[in-house]
């Protein structure tokens, strides 16, 4: 659902790929409040391979007490069709 960048973000040199989705869900489920809970679907070295860059490309998660906050960044939007569905996909 989240593609290679979301589920297997390339590591540095010999590092294992990072499953961004799994890391964020695990951290938030364990009550970890970290300003670095960011998921991105853009990789500067791979974006030229994409047919079309992701519209909703970066998501920032925060916990404040028992409340979860989400801030999303979007490069473009088909307002009538895309926008309502883009927010639910996260």
Q: Would you name the residues annotated as active-site residues?
A: 55
DSSP 13-57: TTPPPB-HHHHHHHHHHTT---TT-EEE---TTTGGG-SS--SEE
Predicted local distance difference test score (pLDDT) of residue 60? 93
Measure the CA angle with vertex 81, ends 77 and 3; round to 5°.
65
Quick: pLDDT tens for 6-50: 677 777 767 788 888 888 999 999 988 888 899 888 777 777 777
Quick: pLDDT tens for 62-75: 998 889 999 988 87
21 or 80: whose pLDDT is higher?
21
Local structure of 6: helix, strand or coil: helix
Predicted local distance difference test score (pLDDT) of residue 46? 74
* Whole-angstrom distance, CA of residue 42 vs CA of residue 54: 7
How many domains does the chain fold into? Answer: 1
87 or 39: whose pLDDT is higher?
39
pTM: 0.71
Predicted local distance difference test score (pLDDT) of residue 84? 64
User: Domain of 73?
Assistant: 3-89
Find, among 70, 71, 64, 73, the residue nearest to 42 by Cα. 73
């Amino acid at each position: 659902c989240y593609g290679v960048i979301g589920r297997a973000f390339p590591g540095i040199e010999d590092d294992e790929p990072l499953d961004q989705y799994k890391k964020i869900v695990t951290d938030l489920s364990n009550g970890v409040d970290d300003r670095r809970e960011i998921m991105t679907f853009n990789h500067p070295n791979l974006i030229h391979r994409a047919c079309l860059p992701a519209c909703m490309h970066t998501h920032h998660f925060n916990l404040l007490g028992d409340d979860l906050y989400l801030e999303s960044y979007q490069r473009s939007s088909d307002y009538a069709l895309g926008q309502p569905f883009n927010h639910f996909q996260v």
